[in-house]
Structure 1
Amino acid sequence: MSLDLPPVAPSVTAALVQGLTPRLRKRLDAGITKLADRPCVRDGDTVRIAVDDDTHLELHAPGGSVTSADAIRCGCLLAPDCLHRAAAASAAPIADPQEEPEPAAETQPGNGTGTGTGSGSGSESLPTPAPEGRAESETATPEQRTAALAVYDAAAGVLEAGTDGSGAVLQAELLRAAHTARVTALPRLAASAVSVVTRLRAARSGDPAYRLADLTADLRDVLMTAHRLPRSADAELADLRGTARQPYAPDGSLRLYGLFSEPVLTATGYAGAVTWTADADGRLCTVSDVAPGGSGRAVGAADRAVRIGDTALTHRELSRAGLAVSGATVSPTGRLGAGAGVRAVRAAGAAWGEAPLDRLWAAPVAEQVSRALTGGHGLLFLDVTLTGTVREAAGDCLLADCDGLTLRLAAAHDHPALPCRDNLRLLATAPGTRLRVVARLDPAPVPRALLIAAGHPSAAGAHVDLGLDRLQQADLPAPATAPAAPGTGSPPAPLDEAPLHLLRRRVHQAASAGRRVLAFPGDGSADSRRLGRYGFDCAGDLLDELHAAAADRSRDAFGRLVPADLGRFARAWLAAAHYTEEADRALCAAAWGAS
């Protein structure tokens, strides 16, 4: 999409698409494509699009986003229920749900993401007093259960159609369900649904940053959350419901040491940078600058001043310096608050090999992996020796030896505007180089991690943020000072992997091409038998049920095909997707030797 449009609230897009006639809905996707070729002019908070010589479309975005349907105006004869308004809203980025009106409710703590939690509708009946001596169990309200069902049905429709079939109309249905979830105090579910729509738009527009695995993960998350929420209670309900905003607790004075900075590019159209710091005890804290934007903002955010206290440090500088903070506030995830009472000044930093940062690399690798798999920050602090490369489906990975363990290091970001992959290719030309690195665990049947930062190959005490800094050939050590390790350049031994890819491939195919791709006649039992021979009988049964659910089409009394049972297919797909995720986590722990 070439138009520079302001973000539009999900509820606005849903309302405008719902107002179209059936005939105009069929033309909506073509209208979005046509609108992308029209000239667009921005004047302050107003964006004007010349639909044709006589018709102009205006989007008013006070505060940076469109929050009401009346803010999109068109001069055509069919307005306000015209195709142009719905096409503009569907083509625009999705606004942060925080910008939509919130129900008046008390914020409750939890671990979800998104915005808005509360007590639900005012029409709820009063709770029945619990019997004496027995605590009352909190369950989802009727409105929340209805909203979860609406999100589940909309996501199941997307799964049935796949990315090619999930046009603006299906996207609007999911956005409408997300808005309903939000106003009934289900922020995590609303945020997950919006993320799926953003992934669909990226897939349909040919965005180079789109990854099918990301869409599959988001679709699995929204279906799983919507499926579990109506039956959950107490702590599980709080986790599935999420919180309006992360609570910040006072933490006194902090002495922090910069570790590294990394770019942020989210599925919901936000970009920026996050700088990680550590205190003397090894506790990690983050300072972020994330706002609506694309890859350009992710690259430029590293040179923006840190928004905490009166410090003039940029994120790039903070990653190599220190910070003394008084009156600090910290969220449960370690994010530093930037309230009016927080004061911060620049302080001396520390190299990765110096105290107190060196203690992060002293922790056993298996212990770090166990922490990452059980809800930790996911970061791994490793000492590795580069040994070569290995080709994967998504591109080449850097091979490294980590205490006798063959490790695959992949790029943390694949967007061409970021230097991650170029830096990885350059490091691959220097086998035998020993580096101290920071990576994020990537659960897989083999030891694999996403490379975020690394010690400078030739400058002792310095490090490189691989998503923000660009390495040059001159930064690599000379061959004489970095001899090749034994066996360098030879391909790794073939991996005797469990054939879970047979199930994972079908899960990804369904997310991409929809139910019909698995409904074609054919002998799918061969894959099930192969899974059984490796001891994965459950995976084989899930694969058989997935094919059966996809092909299940019954007929009515007159012999006509009735609509497919989307509920059965969604349940079969969700079971298979959840199984592969958990199996990958278990195999990942085994590969790293973690408990």
Structure 2
Amino acid sequence: MTTAQLPPVAPEVTATLVEDLSPRLRKRLDAAVTKLGSRPAHRDGDTVTIAVDEETDLRLHAPGGVVTTADAITCGCLLAPACVHRAAAACAAPTADPAPEPAGQPDPPVAGSASQTDDTVSAPDVASPAQRAAADAVWSAAAAVLEAGVDGAGAVAQAALLRTAHTARLQHLPRVAGAALSVVTLLRAARAGDPSYRTAGLVTALAELLGTARRVETASGAELAAVRGRSRRPYSPDGSLRLYGLFSEPVVSDSGHGGVRTWVAGPDGRLLTVGDVAPGGVGRALGVADRAVRLGESALTHRELGRAGLAVSGATVSPDGRLGAGKGVRAVTAGGAAWTEPPLAALWEVPPSQQAARALRSTSRYADPDTGGSDLLFLDVELRGPVREPGGACLLALCDGGIAVRLTVADDDPALAHRDNLMLLATAPGTRLRIIGRLVPALHPRLALLACSHPTGEGTIDLGFDRLRRADLPVPDAHVQPFPPEPGDSGAHSPLHLLERRVEQTVPAGRAALGMLGDVSGEARRLRRAGLPTAAGLLTALCASAARRERDHFGRLLPADADGFASHWLSAARYTSAVSESLCAAAWEPT
């Protein structure tokens, strides 16, 4: 059985089933989850049946595709319903996304607000006591996960975090709830040995969760609205739009969703997207690219729209640039524009450093949602050849200002064309291309390559869907050096990694990993000599907090201060992120 065979389970269902277990069965829960994962399962309509053993079946009933009640998971063993199998099945299944609030429901009032009239001015909006209590519970659960690390954050710790996520959603804190669900999903991927899991992703998710939960207590007004987030994406009217297609990219998420996102631009250069993403994985992503766009009366497919245009009336747009497909939207096919023609050509005229700064603002790890902006860069480059890296090879290219840019694969899935296309382009040094890529924050200029002009100069290539052939490439220029020096690599030798690795080291192994380090004064001195005294102070405080254990009057160890350690870790994580983004922006400056 694989996780994908099980229907998603609502967070509150998993939390309830784990909380109902006896202390003895909770100790056996992680082993039960692993054992259940090796058992055969089959689906019959809305019901998935797992053969626990030769005589016992476990059933998950998911009307509408989601298990929404604890009674929907039944077991035929003698201990049911108090057995460990029901909770193990819920923990093994994917976590369902929370149901959105009914459309048209206004945002709830917050404590401290007053009605706005001509004669009164509303008081600053602040979180209600119930919201602050929910955020505190999320903080405590996340701090416990950080304390234990991935190795110790089993099903019980995950269930506690799911319970607090459900409570946060009931208190109209969808951003906090969503961040908690992301942490649980990554924890499960890490413990299952998922090859797509990256420690850096869990570091970011935990810091986002802790930081957002902490800000609920102090935020007010517009900041509180951003911290609360939205349970559904708002769309606002945008009148009539004339849009020009840029390219289409496959979308494949860790949750099993797949689809396509097509990027379009307006006459003023504003970037918008038309998407179609649903459960289905990479197979759906490849199939839906040739389906009609869900927008008005247009008969264009996504791949056709990436090279054509649309005239839209009654358009609605979300804050992050997604086009709505409501009943009042009308759209008809219109002529497109080449990348070298107005208005699209203006996208490549912006200096790379300005484009990188804009992309960093929109992709900051801890930026508030609905900030708008795009993480795409539009560059004219000359390919120089492959460059070996610890994680594999990438393609080096030179763009304006002598900036050496590393071009990487946007998605490693072998069913997509990204990797094959990049490897083929690496065999043609000297080729000049107009490219579109997604900024990858790093200490050197780095992009995930998404689309490029055709090497022959005719048309464009969606690198996730279209496949280049060797006959499409020009003869390599023998005079081009495939491995030129890399100018402008500012920050590449920064000792910031001394703090970053301690932040990341905590996530897999927990607080104890830092508590056993001993003296870190040598690393702190290196940071100070490099002009990073704040980093040195954060490193010293983090390791001291990890090692600190108080004793009572009888000499017995008291419980560790998980909250204090989480605060020090969060400060270090946010600092390293901010400095890394600054170094990334500096690397894009022309030499």
**1:115 counterpart residue number:** none
- Is contact 1:185–1:241 with CA below 8 Å preserved after alignment? yes
**2:41 counterpart residue number:** 40
393, 397, 407: which one pairs with 1:396? 393
**2:365 counterpart residue number:** none
Show the 5 A alignment for 1:574-589. 574-589=570-585
The worse-fitting range, judged by mean Cα deviation, of 79-88 and 182-191 is 79-88
Cα deviation for residue 473 of structure 1 reads: 2.9
192, 208, 214: which one pairs with 1:205? 192
**1:67 counterpart residue number:** 68
Cα deviation for residue 304 of structure 1 reads: 3.1
296, 301, 319: which one pairs with 1:309? 296
Cα deviation for residue 428 of structure 1 reads: 1.8
**2:366 counterpart residue number:** none
Q: What is the CA–CA distance in structure 1 between the aligned matches of 2:55 and 2:292, rounded to whole Å? A: 45
For residues 243-265 of structure 1, give each alpha carbon's deviation from its aligned partner in whole angstroms, at most 9, with x where no partner exists.
12222122222222211112223
1:444 has 2:442 as partner: yes
**2:86 counterpart residue number:** 85
1:160 has 2:147 as partner: yes
Aligned AA for 1:107?
Answer: P
- Is contact 1:199–1:267 with CA below 8 Å preserved after alignment? no
Could you state the TM-score of these two structures normalised by the residue count of structure 2?
Answer: 0.92
Cα pair distance change 1:332/1:428, threshold 3 Å: same
Q: What is the CA–CA distance in structure 1 between the aligned matches of 2:443 and 2:281, rounded to whole Å? A: 32
- Is contact 1:391–1:397 with CA below 8 Å preserved after alignment? yes
- Is contact 1:251–1:328 with CA below 8 Å preserved after alignment? yes
Q: What is the CA–CA distance in structure 2 between the aligned matches of 1:220 and 1:393, rounded to whole Å? A: 26
**1:111 counterpart residue number:** none
Q: What is the CA–CA distance in structure 2 between the aligned matches of 1:170 and 1:25, rounded to whole Å? A: 10
Show the 5 A alignment for 1:36-435. 36-98=37-99, 102=101, 106-108=105-107, 118-119=108-109, 135-375=122-362, 376-403=373-400, 404-435=402-433
1:14 has 2:15 as partner: yes
Q: What is the CA–CA distance in structure 1 between the aligned matches of 2:272 and 2:99, rounded to whole Å? A: 24
Cα pair distance change 1:543/1:252, threshold 3 Å: same
The worse-fitting range, judged by mean Cα deviation, of 10-19 and 392-401 is 392-401
**1:529 counterpart residue number:** 525
Aligned AA for 1:469?
Answer: D
1:489 has 2:483 as partner: yes
- Is contact 1:199–1:210 with CA below 8 Å preserved after alignment? yes
- Is contact 2:211–2:570 with CA below 8 Å preserved after alignment? yes
The worse-fitting range, judged by mean Cα deviation, of 185-194 and 82-91 is 82-91
The worse-fitting range, judged by mean Cα deviation, of 491-500 and 389-398 is 491-500
Structure 1 stretches lacking a partner, 5+ long = 109-117
Cα deviation for residue 133 of structure 1 reads: 6.1
564, 568, 584: which one pairs with 2:564? 568
Please give the secondary structure, in 1, of the residue aligned with 2:423.
Answer: helix
- Is contact 1:163–1:200 with CA below 8 Å preserved after alignment? yes
**2:539 counterpart residue number:** 543
462, 465, 468: which one pairs with 1:468? 465
- Is contact 2:59–2:74 with CA below 8 Å preserved after alignment? yes
Q: What is the CA–CA distance in structure 1 between the aligned matches of 2:479 and 2:46, rounded to whole Å? A: 58
Identity of aligned residues (%): 60
Q: What is the CA–CA distance in structure 1 between the aligned matches of 2:291 and 2:80, rounded to whole Å? A: 43
1:455 has 2:453 as partner: yes
Cα pair distance change 1:168/1:419, threshold 3 Å: farther
Please give the secondary structure, in 1, of the residue aligned with 2:500.
Answer: helix
Please give the secondary structure, in 2, of the residue aligned with 1:96.
Answer: coil
Could you state the TM-score of these two structures normalised by the residue count of structure 1?
Answer: 0.91
Q: What is the CA–CA distance in structure 1 between the aligned matches of 2:103 and 2:465, rounded to whole Å? A: 41
Q: What is the CA–CA distance in structure 2 between the aligned matches of 1:181 and 1:308, rounded to whole Å? A: 34
The worse-fitting range, judged by mean Cα deviation, of 147-156 and 557-566 is 557-566
Please give the secondary structure, in 2, of the residue aligned with 1:97.
Answer: coil
Cα deviation for residue 125 of structure 1 reads: 9.5
Aligned residues: 576
Q: What is the CA–CA distance in structure 2 between the aligned matches of 1:208 and 1:475, rounded to whole Å? A: 33
Structure 2 stretches lacking a partner, 5+ long = 363-372
Q: What is the CA–CA distance in structure 1 between the aligned matches of 2:193 and 2:286, rounded to whole Å? A: 21
- Is contact 2:517–2:543 with CA below 8 Å preserved after alignment? no
The worse-fitting range, judged by mean Cα deviation, of 491-500 and 436-445 is 491-500
Cα deviation for residue 542 of structure 1 reads: 0.5
**1:558 counterpart residue number:** 554
**1:112 counterpart residue number:** none
Cα pair distance change 1:501/1:275, threshold 3 Å: same
Cα pair distance change 1:557/1:550, threshold 3 Å: same
**1:26 counterpart residue number:** 27
Aligned AA for 2:430?
Answer: G
- Is contact 2:262–2:302 with CA below 8 Å preserved after alignment? yes
Aligned AA for 1:305?
Answer: A
The worse-fitting range, judged by mean Cα deviation, of 78-87 and 308-317 is 308-317
- Is contact 1:38–1:51 with CA below 8 Å preserved after alignment? yes
The worse-fitting range, judged by mean Cα deviation, of 530-539 and 1-10 is 1-10
- Is contact 1:257–1:350 with CA below 8 Å preserved after alignment? yes
Q: What is the CA–CA distance in structure 2 between the aligned matches of 1:452 and 1:92, rounded to whole Å? A: 32
**1:114 counterpart residue number:** none
1:504 has 2:491 as partner: no
**1:591 counterpart residue number:** 587
- Is contact 2:244–2:266 with CA below 8 Å preserved after alignment? yes
Please give the secondary structure, in 1, of the residue aligned with 2:289.
Answer: helix
Cα deviation for residue 582 of structure 1 reads: 0.5
Cα deviation for residue 237 of structure 1 reads: 0.5
For residues 534-567 of structure 1, give each alpha carbon's deviation from its aligned partner in whole angstroms, at most 9, with x where no partner exists.
0101001101111111111122222222221111
For residues 190-233 of structure 1, give each alpha carbon's deviation from its aligned partner in whole angstroms, at most 9, with x where no partner exists.
11111111111111222222122111111111111011111110
Cα pair distance change 1:197/1:295, threshold 3 Å: farther
Cα pair distance change 1:105/1:23, threshold 3 Å: farther
- Is contact 2:183–2:205 with CA below 8 Å preserved after alignment? yes
The worse-fitting range, judged by mean Cα deviation, of 583-592 and 295-304 is 295-304
CA RMSD of aligned residues (A): 2.4
Cα deviation for residue 136 of structure 1 reads: 0.5
- Is contact 2:12–2:163 with CA below 8 Å preserved after alignment? yes
Cα pair distance change 1:293/1:142, threshold 3 Å: farther
- Is contact 1:208–1:416 with CA below 8 Å preserved after alignment? no
Cα pair distance change 1:15/1:316, threshold 3 Å: same
Aligned AA for 2:454?
Answer: H
For residues 153-190 of structure 1, give each alpha carbon's deviation from its aligned partner in whole angstroms, at most 9, with x where no partner exists.
11111111222222111111111111111010001111
For residues 272-326 of structure 1, give each alpha carbon's deviation from its aligned partner in whole angstroms, at most 9, with x where no partner exists.
2211111222111111112234333333332333222233322222212222222
Please give the secondary structure, in 2, of the residue aligned with 1:303.
Answer: coil
